[in-house]
Structure 1
Amino acid sequence: MTGETLASAFEEQRGRLVAVAHRMLGSRADAEDAVQEAWLRLARQDAGTIDNLSGWLTTVVGRVCIDVLRSRKARPEDSFDDEPPELLVLEDSPEEDAVLAESVGLALLVVLDTLGPAERLAFVLHDLFAVPFAEVGEILGKSADAAKMLASRARRKVQGRRPADEPQQRAVVEAFLAAAREGDFDGLLRVLDPDVTWRSETARGVVVRLGSAEVATRAQRGARAVATVRPALVNGKPGVVTWDKRGRLGGVMACTIVDGRIVAIDSVSDPRRLAAMGVTSPEASSSK
């Protein structure tokens, strides 16, 4: 295999590898670094010794991610920087994929704090990317049965954290969106906590709005520019992804709900950050 052919074969795998690393590490930048490290190792490897390039690359990326996670456990302060936290977005799937979508979104919310590195790798690779337990075990240096046990333990932890009132929380978000579209100011006030906070990351910086009246006014104005809305899990919270009338990604929003009212909204409209999230177009979302 020539260098050019090898590079082309790697590029075909890049998107999947970044997706795996992103779920493992929770950071797009760290995921890109892990995949780049896999490419450097591949470039030093005799390609003739690789029977299954996809499996080989998955193994390398998995091991790089394990090393990063273990390093974070040893030095937790290293996992923080001055950048705002990433919003991990999972658009709602058709009905047949709804259970998986819920599991993935909730895992992204809790896995960093509740799963050990080996549990996390087993859960992500098997449950989210259908990697066989034999291959997961090889990455971890364990048997297939041991990998299966790790994934099962991780799954129980994730499912144990599932909020019982998720449908009710989604209904609150839908009521908020409907009131905003209809210009129903009183309806917005009914679903907003009086002391609600809206933190928005824009191209000009972070804007914070306080209080239900100010948030309701901004929501009404913003709804006029929105053409398409899709429900999503954002960092495991009920939220939405929006596109403008030209089909351009307009924003991502997550809501924190307590006692049937929205107490906090986190949103991103900064094009630079939106581009890094890898959210699909509204046409692609509706055709899944």
Structure 2
Amino acid sequence: MSTFDEHRSLLTGVAYRILGSVADAEDVVQEAWLRWSGVDESTVDEPKAYLIRVTSRLAIDRLRWAKSRRESYIGPWLPEPVSTAPDVAERAELADSVEMALLVVLETLSPLERAVFVLREAFDLPFSEIAEIIGRAEPATRQLARRARDHVHERRPRFDVDRKERRRITERFISASADGDLDGLIELFADQVTMVSDGGGKARAALRVITGSENVSRYLLSINTPANIAKFMASIGMAEVAGMSFAVAMLNNAPAVVISADGRVISVLTLLVADGKIETIYLVANPEKIAHLKPV
């Protein structure tokens, strides 16, 4: 195995956390590989540190560009779901600290704050190395880290970390959704449950955050009809709907609902649970963001 391939998963993990996009992370890692291929390895004392530095800088530059692009995005922008199933070896480095709730909060940081937070909190890099990566003095880097950490702590939603409980509630959610059980859904939701939908103008999704158990339940059931699923499939070039299914998969280190039809994932829902109730739903339906996922 080459030196670069040895660290590829780690570099993908760094880039994905900074960018929140699988496609962008893979592009950044590919560019890092191109730069590495032009380097005399004998001149690099610590290849791992060198590659993290190159990848991080590339990711920060791409995030600056992506931030401006996301300002014109249709509706809310959510990070791309990524598989963290135990058998997905190339995603092993992503297994920790990639919860959707955290990635959503990281979107509110500046590119430098986000990079510093990721490199320090997720990868435990020393401040001296992070300062070199971002081109700032170490005291300024520490200040960025403190500001980012405080911001994340204030905004990160509270939710239960018990995976068994989350999976149980996720399965009940699937059952109620598949059966069109309005009362069953309302029972699962906190009174002020919120749902954030990302369709990117390419799939049906609410353009604003929906709040309230009854409003969220009715919206979910309204889009979960054969007619609406058929419209969505037609919008992405598929004329028919065959074998629509609901399943639970480990995405972003948590159980998530994967809805598939005709051999393709058409939406992913992540549920944040607190005190036995669903408090937040993140729904990603933009086909460009879920094309890399396999139906469950």
Equivalence for 1:67: 61
Structure 2 gap segments, 5+ residues each? 86-94, 207-214, 230-242
Write the mapping of 1:1-288 to structure 2, written as runs, cut at 5 A: 8-71=2-65, 77-79=68-70, 85=77, 87-89=79-81, 104-114=99-109, 116-144=110-138, 146-164=140-158, 166-167=159-160, 176-177=173-174, 179-180=176-177, 184-191=181-188, 206-207=203-204, 212=217, 215-216=220-221, 225-226=245-246, 229-230=248-249, 240-242=256-258, 252-254=268-270, 266-268=283-285, 273-276=289-292
The size of the alignment, in residue pairs, is 254
Structure 1 gap segments, 5+ residues each? 94-99, 283-288
Change in Cα spacing, 1:182 to 1:243, as seen in structure 2 (3 Å) is closer
Change in Cα spacing, 1:147 to 1:23, as seen in structure 2 (3 Å) is same
CA deviation after TM superposition for structure 1 residue 30, in Å: 2.4
CA deviation after TM superposition for structure 1 residue 57, in Å: 0.8
CA deviation after TM superposition for structure 1 residue 64, in Å: 1.8
Contact 1:240 1:254 in 2 (8 A): yes
Q: Could you report, residue by residue, the CA deviation over 1:205-227 in whole angstroms, capped at 9, with x for unpaired residues?
A: 6246998457448769999944x
Residue type at the aligned position of 1:229: V
Q: Which has the higher helix share?
A: 1
CA–CA distance in structure 2, aligned partners of residues 92 and 130 of structure 1: 21
CA–CA distance in structure 2, aligned partners of residues 92 and 215 of structure 1: 26
CA deviation after TM superposition for structure 1 residue 62, in Å: 1.3
Q: Could you report, residue by residue, the CA deviation over 1:95-117 in whole angstroms, capped at 9, with x for unpaired residues?
A: xxxxx967854431122323x33
Change in Cα spacing, 1:91 to 1:130, as seen in structure 2 (3 Å) is farther
Q: Could you report, residue by residue, the CA deviation over 1:103-162 in whole angstroms, capped at 9, with x for unpaired residues?
A: 854431122323x33222111012112323232122123455543443232111100112
Change in Cα spacing, 1:219 to 1:10, as seen in structure 2 (3 Å) is same
Alignment root-mean-square deviation, CA: 5.0
